[in-house]
């Protein structure tokens, strides 16, 4: 009798697992497609778009900015999915990317291609017809530069980082124009800040992930120009970033008190960037410093953008 009872319990358990299998399969498939959109990168991009919307909006209760952000998210996700499709071979060679859904075989290339194209078409179409033509045009330009200029250029020149910084700096302008329908001084300030911020941010990544990038034949500053040149670039562009961050004050787009926010953020950031030149001598310590700089840059940007919103 005990044996029959145990068998019956086991039968019920297996039946329950079988009934839940489609749910688990759907969730796994959803998770795989979501991974194609690079949620961390997309989240950062969307946060800068949101800043553009907030800075431009006088009435945050309007549905137009919210729906525009949805279409921008579709464009960003679609571009990331197509980037994964284009870089399957590259991702399969790097330790930090070889387990992504395409190199690992969780999804097929055709699925990624169709998914990315669908998101792009819906997103671009929505921006052109629901928001305005200038936002749709900016999204189109950013997509073309990201997929057909920056992505292939990474394996040909270390200067690809300058090209890649342009589409990365366009989203806050898209947020702005989705509300206003036109460009303005504040939009250019946002573009300049994001453009300059990305350069030392990526150079720091390229230092502590240099081996991975070299394995995938991606040309980066540390391998092409050397660590010394890369750390000097990080220091120099951190100083440039400090000046660019003051543009909203200089142009009268924020309150003068925003300059204190800039000073409070840029002074320690510049000091940290200088350590790569004056304090760190061996390769291991430089990589450790680069990782610290990377995390500091992640903290720096939202605090700076948040300060703009508060002191607008």
- The mean pLDDT value of the chain amounts to 88
DSSP state of 1: -
Write down the pLDDT at residue 21. Answer: 46
Write down the pLDDT at residue 4. Answer: 35
Write down the pLDDT at residue 281. Answer: 67
DSSP state of 112: H
What are the pLDDT digits (tens) for 181-215? 889 899 999 999 999 999 999 999 999 898 889 88
| Statement to judge: residues 131 and 228 lie in one domain | no
CATH of the domain at 103: 1.10.357.140
Write down the pLDDT at residue 286. Answer: 87
Q: Among residues of the chain, what percentage have pLDDT more than 90? A: 63
- Residue (of 39, 40, 44) closest to 194 by Cα position: 44
Write down the pLDDT at residue 278. Answer: 80
Q: Does pLDDT of 115 surpass 90? A: yes
The span from the CA of 14 to the CA of 22, in Å, is 14
What are the pLDDT digits (tens) for 215-255? 888 999 998 998 889 999 999 999 999 999 999 999 998 99
From 182, 202, 230, give the residue that closes a domain: 182
Instruction: Tell me the DSSP string of 43-99.
Output: HHHHHHHHHHHHHH-S-TT-HHHHHHHHHHHHHHHHHHHHHHHHTHHHHHHSTTTTT
| Statement to judge: residues 204 and 176 lie in one domain | no
CATH of the domain at 275: 1.20.120
- Report if residue 228 sits inside a domain: yes
| Statement to judge: residues 203 and 167 lie in one domain | no
| Statement to judge: residues 108 and 175 lie in one domain | yes
- Report if residue 198 sits inside a domain: yes
DSSP state of 254: S
Residue 9's pLDDT band (boundaries 50, 70, 90)?
Answer: very low
| Statement to judge: residues 101 and 207 lie in one domain | no
What are the pLDDT digits (tens) for 67-109? 999 999 999 999 999 999 999 998 888 888 888 888 888 889 9
pTM for this model (two decimals): 0.87
From 139, 162, 182, give the residue that closes a domain: 182
| Statement to judge: residues 54 and 196 lie in one domain | no
Q: How many residues does this entry show for the chain?
A: 312
Q: Among residues of the chain, what percentage have pLDDT more than 70? A: 90
What are the pLDDT digits (tens) for 130-139? 988 999 999 9
- Residue (of 234, 243, 293) closest to 266 by Cα position: 243
Domain count, the chain: 2
- Report if residue 154 sits inside a domain: yes
From 130, 165, 182, give the residue that closes a domain: 182
- Report if residue 175 sits inside a domain: yes
- Look up the domain containing 89 and give its range: 31-182
Helix/strand/coil percent split, the chain, to 5 = 80, 0, 20
- Report if residue 259 sits inside a domain: yes
Radius of gyration, alpha carbons of the chain: 23
Q: Let me know how many helices (H) and strands (E) the chain has, helices first.
A: 16, 0
The span from the CA of 161 to the CA of 156, in Å, is 11
| Statement to judge: residues 164 and 74 lie in one domain | yes
| Statement to judge: residues 144 and 76 lie in one domain | yes
Write down the pLDDT at residue 23. Answer: 54
* Chain centroid, CA 159 distance in Å: 19
- Residue (of 310, 58, 44) closest to 176 by Cα position: 58
């Amino acid at each position: 009798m005990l044996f029959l009872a145990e068998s019956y319990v086991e039968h019920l358990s297996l039946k329950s697992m079988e009934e839940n299998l489609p749910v688990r399969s759907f969730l796994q498939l959803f998770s795989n497609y979501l991974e194609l959109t690079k949620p961390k990168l997309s989240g950062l991009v969307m946060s800068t778009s949101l800043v553009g919307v907030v800075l431009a909006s006088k009435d945050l209760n309007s549905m137009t900015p919210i729906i525009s952000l949805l279409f921008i998210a579709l464009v960003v996700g679609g571009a990331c999915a197509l980037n994964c499709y284009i870089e399957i071979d590259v991702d399969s060679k790097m330790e930090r990317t070889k387990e992504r859904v395409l190199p690992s075989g969780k999804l097929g290339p055709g699925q990624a291609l169709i998914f990315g194209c669908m998101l792009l078409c819906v997103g671009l179409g929505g921006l052109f017809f629901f928001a305005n033509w200038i936002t749709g045009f900016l999204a189109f330009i950013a997509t073309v530069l990201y997929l057909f200029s920056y992505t292939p250029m990474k394996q040909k020149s270390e200067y690809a980082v300058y090209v890649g910084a342009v589409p990365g700096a366009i989203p806050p302008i898209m947020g702005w124009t989705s509300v206003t329908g036109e460009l303005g001084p504040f939009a250019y300030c946002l573009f300049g800040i994001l453009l300059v911020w990305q350069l030392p941010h990526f150079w720091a990544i390229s230092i502590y992930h240099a081996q991975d990038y070299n394995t995938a034949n991606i040309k980066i500053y540390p391998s092409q120009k050397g660590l010394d040149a890369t750390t000097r670039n990080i220091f120099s562009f951190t100083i440039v970033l400090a000046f660019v961050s003051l543009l909203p004050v200089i142009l009268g787009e924020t309150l003068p008190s925003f300059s204190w926010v800039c000073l409070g953020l840029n002074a320690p950031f510049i000091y940290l960037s200088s350590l790569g030149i004056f304090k760190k001598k061996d390769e291991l310590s430089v990589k450790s410093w680069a990782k610290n700089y990377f995390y500091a840059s992640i903290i720096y940007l939202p605090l700076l953008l948040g300060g703009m919103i508060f002191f607008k």
